[in-house]
Amino acid sequence: MSKKKTKVKVELTRRDFLTVAGAALGSVAAAQFLTTGPLSPFSQLKQSQLEGVPETGHGAKTGIYHWGMVINLDTCIGCEYCLRACSAVNDVAVVKPWNIVVEEKTSTGHTFYFSRPCLHCQNAPCVEVCPVKATYHRDDGLVVMDYDRCIGCRYCQVACPYDARTFNWQKRLDVNPYVPTYGTPEVERRPRGVVEKCTFCIHRIDAALNSGLVPGEDPSANPACVNICPVGARVFGNLNDPDSTISKLLEANPSIRLREELGAEPSVYYIPPKEGL
Amino acid sequence: MATVTADRKPISFSPGFLAWMTLIGVLLIIGLVSAALVFINGLTMTNMYDNVPWGLWITIDLSSIALGAGAFTLSAIVYLFGLKRFQPIVRLAVFVGFIGYSAALLTLVMDIGRPDRFWHPWAYWNVHSVLWEITWCITIYLTIMVMEFFPVITEHKFFDRMPWIRSFANVLHKAAPFFALLGLGISLLHQSSLGATYGIVKSRPIWFKPSMPIMFILSAVAVGPALTMSIAFIIEWVTGKRAISHDILRMIARYSGFALLVYGYIKFWDLAAVTYYGRTPAVDQALFTLRQQTPYNFAFWIGEIVIGIVIPVILFLSPRFNRNPALLVLGGLLAVIGVVINRWNVTVSGLFVPLAYSPGTQYVLPPGEYFPNLIEWGIALGIIGYALAMITLGVKALPLFIKTEH
């Protein structure tokens, strides 16, 4: 075919030049349009993100609210009331609670009780991997699910460092044994084929804000697990407000977060047992 | 080009062919029954559960996409690097690639919890998600392969009366190098992002490493062409017609051998860096658990290294063996098995390692336990049946091997 390529003389005609120049200009214009125009993936980003300012939680760091929780491992008695109230209010399947409670031991052998809701990370791995933005950050730092959008690929479940997500493998027909003793369902059951998770009871938070209450300070605006705790081991509130109960508690006590080395920036803090961990 | 279809023999139904079609029919029926059961009852019909939410089907997705990589590799060799000698095999490679990718999409639809929302990644973009990018790339690339292959389909005599389709196909045929280039870019993207799907998950210690995407794409680029080569030989044995010269097939095998060596080299350094020189406590702990409780090490050394790399490399590169087509096909099939075992081992082992997030010393999740049940195997058989049916159809009805270059 083109084996016998001898010396090729480059003759640039006027026509060639115009073609090349036109193509170059066209490419530049197209690139410009695609990076800054309405089709651009960057068009939804805020200016601070474009400038490379590290921002987590999509507004939680700068907004009015950043909902967080403190769990006091020293006072927790492991009664599982938080698990049950959560399961009743959110109508969660008993075998796969959103909020787990387990017995634990410190390195010195002391027994304590460890519980874990969703940690509502500010750099949430689940939010990053979801192909359809079915799980996303709200401006108040909460990581929530859009059950109408989830396709059930379960990548978020695989990516979550804290095992905080469960999948609906089948249509739920179970009877919730915690209703009505520990509460009544305030949200509807999730359909088959979607992933679900703890929401910090956003339905209560949003309703409270609408009626002028302050979540964290008014019990009716708190997540179910916080209200039912008989020893007050869980405190909920606004981490962005330095005068909130939770902020003062964090200021006065040492606290840790789980798997901090991953940089997921959870919004749930733990006060360790007095014997240490 | 018009004479191409004229000398085609009428389709014969020999007893062997009937038996073959029966086998394919049985496989397809098993697959369809399993699919119906899953669609009616949900994914609870499988053995997957919350600790191991991905299993056999993801392995099939990853493997069939990797094995379809012969399409873009050989297309790039012909159209991009200009090695026109390989032109005769491009059609078959694109056809095999199409089968692989469509099989992957079929399995993916089975695997997601809401198959009715399969279109959501196109409607709701999360540009930060590798899975979003993979979905886009796979569907775009499938379209590209249809475009590349469409001219071949229109050579069937069914289209004799529709000259406008032929002329449209001719336009597409002229654009083949463009499609090859586009396909190359898109394939390079998603073949590696399939590895990144695991490589970016920082919560799972044995996945979280930058070599993941590289190992995925290298294995795909090495083994995809070997599968195409093996299929070409098998078709030749079955039909008794030598369509592609053995020199070319042997060169593909040798290329595959060298590519497998590169893959093996990266794998060696990955092993050395992650499990020896730079091992972290989390990786140590994870591998300890896996070695104690699962056949991870056996699958890695025997399945991935010996069966998947060492034996195929010897068969492909040693002059003593690579003149024997049977041994080349054996090498190709072993390399394919190696890739499938690799994808399985990566997926399932990563999920078996229990997450440890508690601040205490006692509580860890139990190590995962998973083996596919009959329904999951049923889908796997159905997918194999689909691939065999497509290849049979292609061999019977399409001019897979006739050169159209003037």
**Mapping DSSP to helix (H, G, I), strand (E, B) and coil, where does residue A75 land?**
coil
Please tell me the predicted confidence (pLDDT) of residue A216. 87
**Percentage of the residues of chain A whose pLDDT score is greater than 70:** 86
Q: Do B201 and A158 touch (CB under 8 A)?
A: yes
- What mean pLDDT is predicted for residues A249-257? 95
B222 close to B252: Cβ distance less than 8 angstroms = no
Report CB contact under 8 Å: B357, A192. no
pLDDT at A53 over 50: no
Q: State yes or no: cis peptide before A54, omega within 30 of 0.
A: no
Sorting pLDDT into bands at 50, 70 and 90, what band is A219? confident
Verdict on whether the full-model pTM lies above 0.80? yes
Predicted pLDDT at B9: 57
Report pLDDT for A181.
93
In the predicted model, what is the mean pLDDT of residues A220-229?
93
Q: What distance lies between CA A161 and its chain's CA centroid? A: 12
Q: What H or E segment, with its residue span, contains residue A236?
A: strand A234-238
Query: What local confidence, expressed as pLDDT, does residue B166 receive?
Result: 84
Q: Hey, what are B112's tokens? A: 């997601």
Instruction: Report the distance separating Cα B285 and Cα A68, nearest Å.
Output: 32
Query: Using CB atoms, which residue from A105, A129, A262 is nearest to B362?
Result: A105
Q: How confident is the model at residue A42 (pLDDT cuts 50, 70, 90)?
A: low
Task: Enumerate the residues of chain A whose CB falls inside 8 A of the CB of residue B359.
Answer: 73, 104, 114, 256, 258, 270, 272, 277
Rounded average pLDDT over A2-14: 60
Question: Residue A191 has what DSSP assignment?
Answer: P
A137 in contact with B, Cβ within 8 Å: no
Residues 6 or more apart in contact with residue B199 via CB below 8 angstroms: B207, B208, B209, B210, B211, B212, B213
Angle at B334 between CA B330 and CA B340, to 5 degrees: 150
The pLDDT-based confidence of A43 (bands split at 50, 70, 90) is low
Q: Flag whether pLDDT at A1 surpasses 50.
A: no
* CA pair distance B9, A262, nearest whole angstrom: 65
Residue A141 scores a pLDDT above 60: yes
Whole-angstrom CA distances from B370 to A194, B39, B43, B352, B356 are: 21, 21, 14, 8, 19
- Closest B-chain CA to A45: B127
Alpha helices in chain A (DSSP H): 14-36, 47-50, 81-89, 125-129, 155-159, 202-210, 224-228, 245-252
Considering only CB atoms, A163 lies closest to which of B44, B49, B357, namely: B357
pLDDT by position in tens, chain B (length 406): 444 445 555 656 788 899 999 999 999 999 999 999 999 999 999 999 999 999 999 999 999 999 999 888 998 888 888 888 898 898 899 999 999 999 999 999 999 999 999 999 999 999 999 999 999 999 999 999 888 888 888 887 778 888 888 888 888 888 888 888 888 888 888 899 999 999 999 999 999 999 999 999 999 999 999 999 999 999 999 988 888 899 999 999 999 999 999 999 999 999 999 988 988 888 999 999 999 989 999 999 999 999 999 999 999 999 999 999 999 999 999 999 999 999 999 999 999 999 889 998 888 888 889 999 999 999 999 999 999 999 999 998 888 886 544 3
Q: What's the gap in Å between the CA of B52 and the closest CA on chain A?
A: 8
* Lowest-confidence segment of A209-213, A264-268, B32-36 by average pLDDT: A209-213
Q: What angle do CA B177, B182, B185 make, to 5 degrees?
A: 125
The domain locations on chain B are 12-355+367-397
Task: Judge whether A224 and A90 are in contact, CB under 8 Å.
Answer: yes
How many CB pairs lie under 8 A apart between chains A and B? 151
**Chain B closest-CA separation from residue A92 CA (Å):** 15
Q: What local confidence, expressed as pLDDT, does residue A151 receive?
A: 96
ipTM score: 0.89
Q: Is A110's Cβ below 8 Å from some Cβ in B?
A: no
| Contact between B178 and B74 (Cβ < 8 Å) | no
The CATH label, of 3.40.50.1580, 3.40.50.150, 3.40.50.10310, 3.30.70.20, for the domain at A56-271 is 3.30.70.20
Q: B304 and B342 in contact (C-beta within 8 Å)? A: yes
Residue from B326, B327, B302 nearest B313 by CA: B327
Query: What is the nearest CA distance from B405 to chain A, expressed in angstroms?
Result: 12
- If DSSP states are collapsed to H, E and C, what string results for chain B? CHHHHCCCCCCCCCHHHHHHHHHHHHHHHHHHHHHHHHHHHCHHHCCCECCECCCHHHHHHHHHHHHCCHHHHHHHHHHHCCCHHHHHHHHHHHHHHHHHHHHHHHHHHHHCCCHHHCCHHHHCCCCCCHHHHHHHHHHHHHHHHHHHHHHHHCCCHHHHHCHHHHHHHHHHHHCHHHHHHHHHHHHHHHHHHHHHHHHCCCCCCCCCCCHHHHHHHHHHHHHHHHHHHHHHHHHHHHHCCCCCCHHHHHHHHHHHHHHHHHHHHHHHHHHHHHHHHCCCHHHHHHHHHHHHHCCHHHHHHHHHHHHHHHHHHHHHHCCCCCCCHHHHHHHHHHHHHHHHHHHHHHHHHHHHCCCCCCCCCCCCCCCCCCCCCHHHHHHHHHHHHHHHHHHHHHHHHCCCCCCCCC
- The whole-angstrom distance between A239's CA and the closest CA on chain B is 22
CB A111 within 8 A of CB A105: yes
**DSSP E strand boundaries for A26-177:** 67-72, 100-105, 111-116, 135-137, 143-145, 165-167
Among B44, B201, B203, beta carbon nearest to A170? B44
Chain B positions in Cβ-Cβ contact with residue A153 (cut-off 8 Å): 111-113, 131
Residue of A nearest to B405 (CA): A1
Which CATH number applies to B12-355+367-397: 2.60.40.420, 2.40.30.10, 3.30.70.1560, 1.20.1630.10?
1.20.1630.10
* Model confidence pLDDT, tens digit, residues A73-109: 999 999 999 999 999 999 999 999 999 999 999 999 9
Query: Is the CB of A65 inside 8 Å of chain B's CB atoms?
Result: no
Q: CA–CA separation, A28 vs B105, rounded Å?
A: 36
Answer yes or no: is pLDDT of A55 > 70: no
Of B41, B50, B359, nearest to A96 by CB-CB distance is B50
Largest alpha-carbon pair distance within chain B?
77
Instruction: Quickly count: other Cβ atoms within 10 Å of residue B310's Cβ.
Output: 16
Q: What is the pLDDT of residue A104?
A: 94
Which amino acid, residue B240?
G
Burial class (CB in 10 A: 0-12, 13-18, 19+), A202: middle
Coil, strand or helix: which one is A175?
coil
Return d(Cα A82, Cα A88) in angstroms, integer.
10
Cα A95 to Cα A91, A115, A166, A168, A271, distances in angstroms: 12, 16, 10, 12, 28
From chain A, the residues in CB contact with B51 under 8 A are: 163
